[in-house]
Amino acid sequence: MNGRMVSAELLKLRKRRGLVVWSIVLSIGIVTVVYTILEILHLHNPVKYGPPGGIGGLQGSIIGLSLGGSVAAILIGTAAGTADVSNGVFRDLVATGRSRLALFFARLPGALLLFVPMITVGYIVIAACSVGLAGSLHTPDLGLILRGYAWVLAVTCFDLTLALGLASLIGSRGTTIGILLGWQFLAAPLLAQASLLGAARQALYPRAFDRLLPHVLFTDQGAPILIHSAAVAVIVILAWTAAALGVGAWRTVTRDA
Amino acid sequence: MNGSLAVETSALTTRFGTRVAVDAVDLRVPAATAFGFLGPNGAGKTTLIRTLLGLTRPTSGSWRMLGRPMPQERSIALRRVGAIVEEPRFHPHLTGRENLRIIAAAREPAADDRIPGALARVGLTARADERVGKYSMGMRQRLGVARCLLADPLLLILDEPMNGLDPAGIQEFREMVANLVQEDRTVFLSSHLLDEVEKTCDQVAIIDRGRILMQGSVADIARTGKPTVRIRCGDPDAAASVIRPIPDVEEVTREDGTVLVVLRTEPGGSSDAIVAELNRQLVGAAVSVYSIEPERVSLEERFLELTSRLEDAG
């Protein structure tokens, strides 16, 4: 892998207009629109609608950004994982003599180079709004804002990595998107509630991320705390990351080009 | 590379389950030649190309590319190999130039600098900044060749490169292959267009059902067919009657007012004595002979003869 290969991966992704537009909408557009609407409501009727900013505003918007950002990450990760195979270019890349592992591992930084600026801008929007539109509410301090950014970045980049690995394994973008969205928003929350699974539920990565969310920002009161140790949460996330990259790399190496 | 082999295989075999796609192939592709690789559909051409490039794992056998043992030195050998396998495919949302950048990035840094030259060589400079999704099949073929040139290749492997080219494009392609060979590059060209292979290549191999039936120079392969002469004379019917009983004559047919005579000789043997005997017999029978000319056996005829023979045996 080298910088030119990473740059080539970025080129493939950033030239997909639909992908870029939808990713911007999901990672920047939604939070911008939501804050705009809340501020208009507040200005229109300050008694009924409080200021949208403050720590409470940051809480809600971090969760919203992580959800929208995760979908954007899945779109970008699956595109990066399947573009060469679905366009029939993979065999031409393999025929250059370049190692298949190098071809696979160039995809991740290429995809991150497209995604991280978007999610960062999205976070800057919510951080600015949580401070600038706080009115009389307590504003989040810089430390909390930075911890919140690190968490959003970790959640969404993890989703991108998972999507890239799984898409490289499956080879179909649509199927991978369906599986990941179904897992993320349906299967994983249901499994987290299934008490008969006991401690096995600690292996669910969404719960591991819940554990790592700065305590003051945790809002999901209904969700059970499954992982009490931050170290266990980090191990769960690293294990999922390694598994996703492992299966993606394995399939890229063994795939008939 | 002159005098050496660009590709050399030894008992190379590729099976898919019980089906043998490439059957103990011993292929020798001399360097700095235009080498035609002929075979009917499903003969194993593309499988052999994919095996040579390491895209498909062989079941047994060994091979060398540009003198390097494969797959042990695959990455070194393929640095100087450009290949189009099956139809050339690209990212349709990228321009021609951007698609070349993608492949150049997987090669050494100098490949980036070769992009303008490669585009110019295939005549795509003016259209290089259009999306490939808008390209015609012929333009994609050209872009595929440009992609091969990024390797500054000693060996180009082109699978059906003339598909989609118009007559002018085919002519340009033929000239380009000749120029590449003049630059001491080897062009390995798989095609079902026998006439084009005959015009473009100086060496050829014929494959059918995974087996190499014959390989060598185009002229030699055509010559190994049965020698045939065409006789123009005053009375073709009488000539046919006179010639038919001659022992060294295998077949006599009438065609367009002439007589076509297939001679019975050893492969590669001289037919001069038989032709002289034909002439003697005709003159003796008072048939006016205007000309006796050797009928050139085309590669196509030889190809059909070889492949149909295999079909009969099967």
Residue A74 contacts residue A44 (beta carbons within 8 Å): no
Q: What is the average pLDDT across A217-243?
A: 79
CA dist., res. A157 & res. A245, Å (int):
13
**What is the per-residue pLDDT for B2?**
47
- B51 to A98, A180, B107, B129: CA distances (angstroms): 16, 36, 21, 34
Query: What average pLDDT is seen over chain B?
Result: 88
Q: Give the nearest partner residue to A95 out of B76, B78, B109, using CB atoms.
A: B78
User: How many other CB atoms are there within 10 angstroms of residue A229's CB atom?
Assistant: 10
Taking the Cβ of residue A211 and every Cβ of chain B, the question of whether any pair is shorter than 8 Å is answered with no
Taking the Cβ of residue A5 and every Cβ of chain B, the question of whether any pair is shorter than 8 Å is answered with yes
Residue-wise pLDDT for B124-161, tens only, equals 999 999 999 999 988 999 999 999 999 999 999 999 88
Judge if pTM exceeds 0.90: no
- All residues of chain B having their beta carbon less than 8 Å from the beta carbon of residue A95 are 53-55, 78, 81, 83, 85
- B204 to B3, B30, B37, B116, B300: CA distances (angstroms): 16, 10, 6, 32, 12
Task: For tokens 């493939």, name the residue.
Answer: A12
Going by C-alpha positions, the residue among B20, B35, B56 that lies closest to residue B217 is: B35
Q: Give the nearest partner residue to B85 out of A7, A8, A91, using CB atoms.
A: A91
Q: Which range in B41-45, B101-105, B167-171, B284-288 is most confidently predicted, on average pLDDT?
A: B101-105
SS in 3 state form for A225-241? CCCCCHHHHHHHHHHHH
Distance from CA of B306 to the nearest CA of A (A): 32
Going by C-alpha positions, the residue among A101, A116, A200, A104 that lies closest to residue A158 is: A116
**What is the per-residue pLDDT for A204?**
86
Q: Do B75 and A99 touch (CB under 8 A)?
A: yes
Taking a contact as any Cβ pair under 8 Å apart, which residues of chain A between 82 and 111 contact chain B?
Answer: 83, 87-89, 91-99, 103
User: How many other CB atoms are there within 10 angstroms of residue A45's CB atom?
Assistant: 9
Distance from CA of A56 to the nearest CA of B (A): 43
Residue-wise pLDDT for A185-226, tens only, equals 899 888 888 888 888 888 888 888 888 888 766 655 555 566
Residue A92 contacts residue B53 (beta carbons within 8 Å): no
- All residues of chain A having their beta carbon less than 8 Å from the beta carbon of residue B109 are 4
Q: What is the average pLDDT across A171-186?
A: 94
**What is the per-residue pLDDT for A223?**
56
DSSP track, A170-204: H--HHHHHHHHHHIIIIIHHHHHH-GGGGGGGGG-
Preceding amide of A109 cis, omega within 30: no
The interface pTM score, or ipTM, of the predicted complex is 0.89
Q: What is the average pLDDT across A217-238?
A: 74
B51-86 in b/e form (b: 16+ CB < 10 A) is bbbbbbebeebebbbbebebbeebeebbbbbbbbbe
CA dist., res. A98 & res. A94, Å (int):
6
- β-bridge mates for residue A46, sequence order: none
Going by C-alpha positions, the residue among B64, B36, B38 that lies closest to residue B52 is: B64
Distance from CA of A40 to the nearest CA of B (A): 40
- All residues of chain B having their beta carbon less than 8 Å from the beta carbon of residue A17 are 93
**What is the per-residue pLDDT for A241?**
97
* Residues 6+ positions from B4 with CB-CB distance below 8 Å: B30, B31, B67
In 3-state terms, what secondary structure has residue A219? Answer: coil
Q: Is the pLDDT of residue B312 over 60?
A: no
- β-bridge mates for residue B293, sequence order: B230
Q: Do B105 and A12 touch (CB under 8 A)?
A: no
CA dist., res. B173 & res. B78, Å (int):
23
Which tokens belong to B213?
């039936």
* Residues 6+ positions from B136 with CB-CB distance below 8 Å: B164
Q: Give the nearest partner residue to B105 out of A5, A15, A16, using CB atoms.
A: A5
- All residues of chain B having their beta carbon less than 8 Å from the beta carbon of residue A88 are 89
Q: What is the average pLDDT across A156-173?
A: 97
Q: Which range in A65-79, A133-147, A186-200, B238-252 is most confidently predicted, on average pLDDT?
A: A65-79
Q: What is the average pLDDT across A117-142?
A: 94
User: Quick one: what percent of chain B has pLDDT higher than 70?
Assistant: 92
CA dist., res. B200 & res. B178, Å (int):
7
CA dist., res. A55 & res. A60, Å (int):
9
Pairing of strands B28-30, B5-16: antiparallel
Residue A108 contacts residue A246 (beta carbons within 8 Å): no
Residue B99 contacts residue B90 (beta carbons within 8 Å): yes
Which of A17, A94, A96 is the best substitution to test chain B (most B C-beta atoms within 10 A)?
A96
Q: Do B93 and A7 touch (CB under 8 A)?
A: no
Q: Give the nearest partner residue to A4 out of B55, B75, B105, using CB atoms.
A: B105
Q: What is the average pLDDT across A81-85?
A: 96
Chain A and chain B share a number of CB contacts under 8 A equal to 82
Query: What average pLDDT is seen over chain A?
Result: 92
Q: Which range in A173-177, A181-185, B217-221, B283-287 is most confidently predicted, on average pLDDT?
A: A173-177
- All residues of chain A having their beta carbon less than 8 Å from the beta carbon of residue B58 are none
Q: Do B147 and A87 touch (CB under 8 A)?
A: no
Q: What is the average pLDDT across B288-304?
A: 78
Considering only CA atoms, give the Rg of chain A: 20
Residue A140 contacts residue A210 (beta carbons within 8 Å): no
Q: Give the nearest partner residue to A98 out of B56, B101, B106, using CB atoms.
A: B106
- All residues of chain B having their beta carbon less than 8 Å from the beta carbon of residue A256 are 55-56
- All residues of chain A having their beta carbon less than 8 Å from the beta carbon of residue B133 are none
**What is the per-residue pLDDT for A120?**
98
> What chain A residue is nearest to B132 in terms of C-alpha separation?
A87
Q: What is the average pLDDT across A19-33?
A: 96
CA dist., res. B276 & res. B284, Å (int):
12
Q: What is the average pLDDT across B159-188?
A: 89
Q: Give the nearest partner residue to B102 out of A2, A12, A99, using CB atoms.
A: A12
Residues of chain B that touch chain A, judged by Cβ-Cβ distance less than 8 Å: 50, 53-56, 74-79, 81, 83, 85, 88-94, 98-99, 101-107, 109, 112, 147, 151
Q: Give the nearest partner residue to A95 out of B83, B101, B104, using CB atoms.
A: B83
What is the H or E stretch that residue B65 is in?
strand B60-65
* Residues 6+ positions from B49 with CB-CB distance below 8 Å: B37, B83, B85, B157, B159, B188, B190
Q: Do A97 and B93 touch (CB under 8 A)?
A: no
Q: Do B106 and A12 touch (CB under 8 A)?
A: no
Going by C-alpha positions, the residue among A207, A170, A172 that lies closest to residue A187 is: A207
User: Quick one: what percent of chain A has pLDDT higher than 70?
Assistant: 95
Q: What is the average pLDDT across B94-121?
A: 96
Which of A92, A93, A173 is the best substitution to test chain B (most B C-beta atoms within 10 A)?
A92
CA dist., res. B222 & res. B220, Å (int):
5
Task: Provide the residue type at B69 as one letter.
Answer: P
Q: Is the pLDDT of residue B309 over 60?
A: no
* Alpha helix segments (H runs only) across chain B: 45-52, 74-78, 96-106, 110-113, 115-121, 137-149, 167-182, 194-200, 218-223, 236-243, 272-284, 299-313
- All residues of chain A having their beta carbon less than 8 Å from the beta carbon of residue B104 are 4
Q: What is the average pLDDT across A110-125?
A: 97
Residue B48 contacts residue B202 (beta carbons within 8 Å): no
- A64 to A55, A145, A250, B40: CA distances (angstroms): 14, 15, 34, 60
Distance from CA of B95 to the nearest CA of A (A): 10
Q: What is the average pLDDT across B111-121?
A: 96
A246 versus A201: the higher-pLDDT residue is A246
CA dist., res. B54 & res. A256, Å (int):
10
